[in-house]
Each structure stands twice: as C-alpha cells, then as structure tokens.
C-alpha cells in the first residue's frame, strides 16, 4: 500500500528497469492492465506499477467524494514512492489523470501515453454519465444481459462484435464482471472537473506525449483524442483501427507495440 494522508492505494510492482506507472479508467481496478500490457512491458525490460485508484477497493473508497485533483495527487504519490520520474500510461479517466499530472507535475513524468482520452465534455458524454449516476442513486441495476449488451456496444468495435463467437465471449466476460454500485464508483462518476474544457491548458504540457485513439470508440469518440493530441505541443498521435474504448484489450498487440516503441525512446 502507498499512503497519502488517510488514503491508502493498493499497488502492484513487477520487474526492473525504467519505471512505468499505469492508471486505469473509471470503475476498473489496476489489474485490468495485467491481462496484456503488464506482461508485454515486463518482457520489454520495464518495471511496471499498477494500482487501484481511490474509489476502487482495496484502495480507499472515499465514498464521501473527491476530485480529479485528488486522483492526480494520488498518482504523484505512487510515482514518488516507487522512484520519480516515471513513464506514465493512462486510459480513459486514467488518461485524463495522466494529462493533468504531466501538466502540473512535469518533474515526475519522463513521458506519458494517453489511450482513448478526452480533454472536454460533450453533451452525450455528460448525458451518459448523468444516467449512470441516476441508476446508482435510485438503487437500480439493469437486467444483466442488457447491461452486458450495452457495455459491449459502447466499448467494443463492430469488427469484434461481427464475429458471433467473439461477441458471445465478450458478453460472458462482461456479464461475469457484474454491475458495481459502490460508493467509490459513484464518487468517481461525480468528479467536478468532468465538465471542464482543458484543451487550452494542455498547451502548457512540456513532456513527450503519445495519444492513441481507438477508431471505433463510442464511449469517447476518436475526435476527442485527436483534440488532445492537437493541443499538446509536439505530441504524437496514433489511431488503431477496429478498436473500441477497450482497444487495449481488443487489440493488445497493436497497443503494446506502440507503448513499447514510445516508452523505450523516452
């Protein structure tokens, strides 16, 4: 555990070599990286730290609420504990955290990679987020099969779902994960900074950055990732075809190739 004040952050460290700290998205534990990215980075000679963001047990749930700035400070504390500066990789909300960390604490970041990211809200993003909060506040859950189908539709590429066997496998995987209605997840959904447009601020980022868009991302459409890349001076943009919001799970070989190439050069 890494502690920052009264907040405990559950961390996993493997390997030796240059430090890579990986930041997961809303509602997901750090072990999601262990399926594909952690082993590939370990094999490539990196030391990899994954952790559960506040709100995700066994890290502190902090159900009374917190801010994105708190999560950025948590990530900074993890990096300082394991030895700054670090190479930082984030996806979705984790990518937003990586962007803000690289802007506010450049001394802690050697380079950063943002997967499936965004720098501003859209009406659809806001409406979807409000709907998720309303379900939790009402104490309601969707029928399990419908929840799995909706999650697959929002997070996977049509190319993945066009194959019936692949679609059934993904529906089973999503269904097995269940529906989380914890106070910590509710707090993650209620970050006050979600509605801020930060693109102008990202012109102040000074560290090397790679932004990766997933061409079939419905949750955070790919034009939002392009906007982040356009805003960060000197950043590199790559786009992965036939990949949705879970592109790092759908197309791990392509994602890992980009990660290792970029991180090794920085």
Q: Which helix (H) or strand (E) holds 131?
A: helix 123-137
Strands 86-91 vs 109-115: parallel, antiparallel or unpaired: parallel
Q: Rounded to whole angstroms, how far apart are CA atoms 113 and 211? A: 6
Q: Which among 212, 17, 190 has a CA at the least distance from the CA of 99?
A: 212
The whole-number pLDDT of residue 180 equals: 79
| Active-site annotation, residues | 92, 217, 245
* Distances in whole angstroms, Cα of residue 71 to Cα of each of 37, 62, 74, 123, 165: 22, 11, 5, 24, 38
Structure tokens at 128: 């979807």
Q: Rounded to whole angstroms, how far apart are CA atoms 158 and 263? A: 30
H and E: helices and strands count for the chain: 11, 9
R_g of the chain, CA atoms, integer Å: 17
Q: Rounded to whole angstroms, how far apart are CA atoms 52 and 32? A: 10
- Tell me the pLDDT tens digit for each residue of 134-157: 999 999 989 999 999 999 999 999
- Tell me the pLDDT tens digit for each residue of 147-191: 999 999 999 999 999 999 999 999 999 988 888 789 999 999 999
The whole-number pLDDT of residue 181 equals: 86
* Distances in whole angstroms, Cα of residue 262 to Cα of each of 88, 193, 198, 210: 11, 29, 24, 7
Per-residue pLDDT of the chain (266 residues; tens, 9 = 90+): 999 999 999 999 999 999 999 999 999 999 999 999 999 999 999 999 999 999 999 999 999 999 999 999 999 999 999 999 999 999 999 999 999 999 999 999 999 999 999 999 999 999 999 999 999 999 998 999 999 999 999 999 999 999 999 999 999 999 888 887 899 999 999 999 988 999 999 999 999 999 999 999 999 999 999 999 999 999 999 999 999 999 999 999 999 999 999 999 99
Q: Rounded to whole angstroms, how far apart are CA atoms 262 and 98? A: 16
Residues 227, 230, 233, 238, Cα dihedral to 10°: 90
Q: Which among 47, 119, 38, 121 has a CA at the least distance from the CA of 84?
A: 47
Q: Which among 116, 72, 126, 117 has a CA at the least distance from the CA of 244?
A: 116
CATH superfamily of 2-124+181-264: Alpha/Beta hydrolase fold, catalytic domain (3.40.50.1820)
The whole-number pLDDT of residue 251 equals: 98
Structure tokens at 7: 């907040």
pTM for the predicted model, two decimal places: 0.96
By the 8 A CB rule, do 128 and 107 touch? no
């Amino acid at each position: 555990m890494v502690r920052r004040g009264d907040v405990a952050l559950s961390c996993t460290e493997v390997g030796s070599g240059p430090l890579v700290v990986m930041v997961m998205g809303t509602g997901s534990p750090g072990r999601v990286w262990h399926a594909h990215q952690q082993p590939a980075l370990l094999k490539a000679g990196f030391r990899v730290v994954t952790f559960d963001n506040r709100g995700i047990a066994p890290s502190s749930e902090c159900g009374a609420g917190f801010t994105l700035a708190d999560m950025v400070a948590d990530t900074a504390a993890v990096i300082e504990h394991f030895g700054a500066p670090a190479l930082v990789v984030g996806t979705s909300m984790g990518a937003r955290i990586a962007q803000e960390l690289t802007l506010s604490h450049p001394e802690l970041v050697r380079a950063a990679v943002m997967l499936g990211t965004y720098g501003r809200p859209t009406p659809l993003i806001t409406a979807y987020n409000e709907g998720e909060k309303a379900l939790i506040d009402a104490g309601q859950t969707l029928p399990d099969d419908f929840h799995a189908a909706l999650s697959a539709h929002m997070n996977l590429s049509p190319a993945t779902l066009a194959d019936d066997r692949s679609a059934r496998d993904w529906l089973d995987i999503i269904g097995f994960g269940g529906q989380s209605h914890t106070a910590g997840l509710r707090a993650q959904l209620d970050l006050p900074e979600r509605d801020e447009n930060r693109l102008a601020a990202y012109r102040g980022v000074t560290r090397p950055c790679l932004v990766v868009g997933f061409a079939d991302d419905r949750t955070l459409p790919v034009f939002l990732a392009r906007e982040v890349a356009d805003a960060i001076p000197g950043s590199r943009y790559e786009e992965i075809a036939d990949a949705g919001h879970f592109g790092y799970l759908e197309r791990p070989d392509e994602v890992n190739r980009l990660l290792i190439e970029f991180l090794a050069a920085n």
